[in-house]
Structure 1
Amino acid sequence: MVNRAFSAPGKALLVGGYLVLDPQYRSYVVALSSRMHAVVSQAAPCDEKSFKVTIKSSQFNSDEWNYMIAGEAPFEVRELDGRKNPFAEKVVEVIMNYCQPSPTETGDILVEVYSDPGYHSVGTSMLKRNSYKEFRFHDETITKVPKTGLGSSAGLVTVLVSALLSIFKPSLNVRAEKDLVTIHNLSQVAHCQAQGKVGSGFDVAAAVFGSIMYQRFDPELINNLPAANSIHYAQALRKLVDETDWKFEHENITLPPGFRLIMGDVNNGSETTKLVAKVKAWYDLNYPRSLDIYQKINEGNVSFIEGIGKLASFSKESPSEYNCMLQSLNSGADFETYDIIKQIRQAVDQVRAKFRLITDESGADIEPPVQTQLLDQSLNLKGVLTGMVPGAGGFDAISLIVTDNSDIPSQTRNDGKFSSVTWLNLRQQNTGVKEEIPEHYDKFT
């Protein structure tokens, strides 16, 4: 009986929304402490001509998907009960065609999936614990529970890829760069195919590598793959994953000392694909003016990234003055005497202003008025450096960069302006996918 476990972090794309789709632009992605988890086990082979892969999520009304694997590449992946889960299905299909197991030598596989509380709105869920972990269990199926926008699909795909790959590649080591790149490439293919399009990939990259400065790969790498039912698919997939240089950047980063990220869930998720489609239509219709607007957004993005770098340098070069700056932020004093803080705030203001313009003109709710009001009010709280609607925007959670000593929940308690916000217990996490201890997922009560 094989038994291994893996987890991968959620993410917040602080700057780079929409521009991240173009390989020329940099983005800043913070990995978060809320993680997706997968525990995999395999029964002994029984010399049958097929085997079953079961993916189970007991957190969500006992959701379960059963895939029968038979034959040889290209593998036919069929869900026995007709239940749809495109992300799970594509991971199974990609892994089978990459690893090409022999059904007669492969026992049934069970993957149990868990997600940390930050991924979904609390609702009427019940918190259950054991000595090591705690998860929220919901009465509804996973499709009916609102998401907070932390990248649950990217995290799910990454841990499923890691778990299934570990069955067919027992030497898999998620601390080795070569194996991480393999997990990344397989996860990007599965995630893009499940979405029906090639996305920017920043969410999968953060799930694999942690907090990163990211520039995307060429989408044609995945677009040029043969259809999954083609006899050439498995060979082309292996060549793409193992032999091709994807030429994407994933430089590890961290927020400056004394700062952390806090997310505020407004319990009303958004459909990123619809937002992206509206923005693309607006961009094409308004070109080249839209390019000028994107360049202004990029200037703000670059200024933000440079400002964060200056803060990190400031903390090392003048630690006492740096601590004074943090205290000024915490007290709500005139912290704008610090040019670095002014630079970061002005950079984010510039980005937000242009996205509000695109919101007005495209009909895509990147920063809708209710989020504008919430962010502007948040900037008046003690200890807040800046804030934004991360990623593609919309009605997902807002992100604030705050000092370690700030207490945002206490400041906003009983304040009607924040009555719709649930502050999520999150922190930055620099580690991407990592191996866990299987026994830590036993018996939640």
Structure 2
Amino acid sequence: MTPPCVVSAPGKVLITGGYLVLDPAYRGLVLGTSARFYAAVQMAAQSSVKPVPPASDDSVCRLVHVEAPQFTDASWVYAVQWPDGGDSDWKLVDVTEQYGYTPGGNPFVEAALRLTLAYAEHGGGGRPWHERLASGTIKITMLADNDFYSQHEQLVARQLPVSRQGLQALPRFCRTDRRLRDVHKTGLGSSAALTTSLVAALLAFLDVCQPDDADGRRIVHNLAQVCHCYAQGKIGSGFDVSAAADEQGQREQICALVADEQRQ
């Protein structure tokens, strides 16, 4: 398995403002947090899912396998299909149930995949994205710092005090033993941080842009905003994505953390 391309994005705390900022006459204030969401994208030498057959003899099909190991039933598989010899008329198909995983995809993951591939096809400056997919399955691992979710059940199960000291004693990327839709959030903008980190990691992996320069940050911010609105089905204030995109970046030291989590 190749080393992962890892990008992280922080959560947010809204100080003042809200939907009023949709009117240019108003401003707001939001702060990034130390809690971060991590997306690791890599080519998998071997995968727990087998390749799906192409839609036709003159088409190519590759898999994208997404896992969020902190949660129950958080594995999603997508098939990317395109005509042999080019990436026009490609499509993304959710084949999660076909491979024995619990159906019901994550709208933020799917939006990030679908729209980032579309941007890479039409707006990317690097080599065609289908060349990066040609060698096999893409493995994506999503991890979140504990502060994004309530850890009360984990503290009680480990007989730790419900306090700051108890939280600090929990393992990093603590498993919640719940489905993602059932976990209790703390309001730090987990969906925006997930979306932004995944968009940035995919853009870097596909050689479209680098998230640690000014132009790359602009692209990540704009695309993550579109993905987040698409997944939610509405236009929000954009505060959480703005905070996540402002401080997202690649960190070599977290690659080891992600690799350790993948081996468990």
Whether TM-score is above 0.5 comes out as: yes
What TM-score, normalized by structure 2, do the two folds share?
0.75
Map of 1:434 onto structure 2: 249
**Is 2:148 the counterpart of 1:119?**
yes
Map of 2:7 onto structure 1: 6
Residue 58 and residue 434 in structure 1: after superposition, are their counterparts in 2 closer, same or farther (change >3 A)?
A: same
Letter in 2 for 1:139: D
**Is 2:240 the counterpart of 1:203?**
yes
Shift of 1:441: 2.0
- Residue pairs, 1:312-331, within 5 angstroms: none
Q: Give the match's secondary structure for 1:179.
A: helix
Map of 1:162 onto structure 2: 200
Map of 1:110 onto structure 2: 139
Letter in 2 for 1:179: G
Letter in 1 for 2:91: E
Residue 73 and residue 149 in structure 1: after superposition, are their counterparts in 2 closer, same or farther (change >3 A)?
A: farther
Where structure 2 has 5 or more consecutive residues not aligned to the other structure, the ranges are 46-50, 55-59, 98-102, 122-128, 159-170
Letter in 2 for 1:109: I
Map of 2:64 onto structure 1: 53
Q: Give the match's secondary structure for 1:149.
A: coil
Cα distance in 1 between the residues matched to 2:135 and 2:115: 17
Aligned-residue Cα RMSD (Å) equals 2.4
Map of 2:231 onto structure 1: 194
Shift of 1:185: 1.2
| Deviations, residues 204-226 of structure 1 (Å, cap 9, x unaligned) | 111011xxxxxxxxxxxxxxxxx
Letter in 2 for 1:141: R
Q: Is the 8 A contact 2:12 2:30 kept in 1?
A: yes
Q: Give the match's secondary structure for 1:30.
A: strand
Cα distance in 2 between the residues matched to 1:188 and 1:75: 23
Cα distance in 1 between the residues matched to 2:207 and 2:245: 18
Q: Is the 8 A contact 2:39 2:201 kept in 1?
A: yes
Percent identity among equivalent residues?
34
Q: Is the 8 A contact 2:68 2:141 kept in 1?
A: yes
Q: Tell me which of 119, 130, 149 is aligned to 1:98.
A: 119
Cα distance in 2 between the residues matched to 1:144 and 1:176: 36
Map of 1:229 onto structure 2: none
Cα distance in 1 between the residues matched to 2:65 and 2:3: 15
Q: Is the 8 A contact 2:13 2:31 kept in 1?
A: yes
Where structure 1 has 5 or more consecutive residues not aligned to the other structure, the ranges are 128-132, 210-431
| Deviations, residues 256-289 of structure 1 (Å, cap 9, x unaligned) | xxxxxxxxxxxxxxxxxxxxxxxxxxxxxxxxxx
- Residue pairs, 1:330-341, within 5 angstroms: none
Residue 176 and residue 11 in structure 1: after superposition, are their counterparts in 2 closer, same or farther (change >3 A)?
A: same
Q: Tell me which of 54, 57, 67 is aligned to 2:78.
A: 67
**Is 2:152 the counterpart of 1:141?**
no
**Is 2:193 the counterpart of 1:178?**
no
**Is 2:260 the counterpart of 1:443?**
yes
Between stretches 148-157 and 194-203, larger displacement belongs to: 194-203
Cα distance in 2 between the residues matched to 1:73 and 1:152: 33
Shift of 1:62: 4.8
| Deviations, residues 227-283 of structure 1 (Å, cap 9, x unaligned) | xxxxxxxxxxxxxxxxxxxxxxxxxxxxxxxxxxxxxxxxxxxxxxxxxxxxxxxxx
- Structure 1 or 2, whichever has the larger Rg, is 1
Name whichever structure is richer in helix by fraction.
1
Shift of 1:95: 1.3
Letter in 2 for 1:107: G
Residue 148 and residue 73 in structure 1: after superposition, are their counterparts in 2 closer, same or farther (change >3 A)?
A: farther
Aligned length: 216
Q: Give the match's secondary structure for 2:112.
A: helix
Residue 97 and residue 157 in structure 1: after superposition, are their counterparts in 2 closer, same or farther (change >3 A)?
A: same
Map of 1:40 onto structure 2: 41
Residue 189 and residue 200 in structure 1: after superposition, are their counterparts in 2 closer, same or farther (change >3 A)?
A: same
Letter in 2 for 1:16: G
Shift of 1:433: 0.2
Cα distance in 1 between the residues matched to 2:118 and 2:229: 16
What TM-score, normalized by structure 1, do the two folds share?
0.45
Shift of 1:440: 2.3
Q: Is the 8 A contact 1:6 1:434 kept in 2?
A: yes
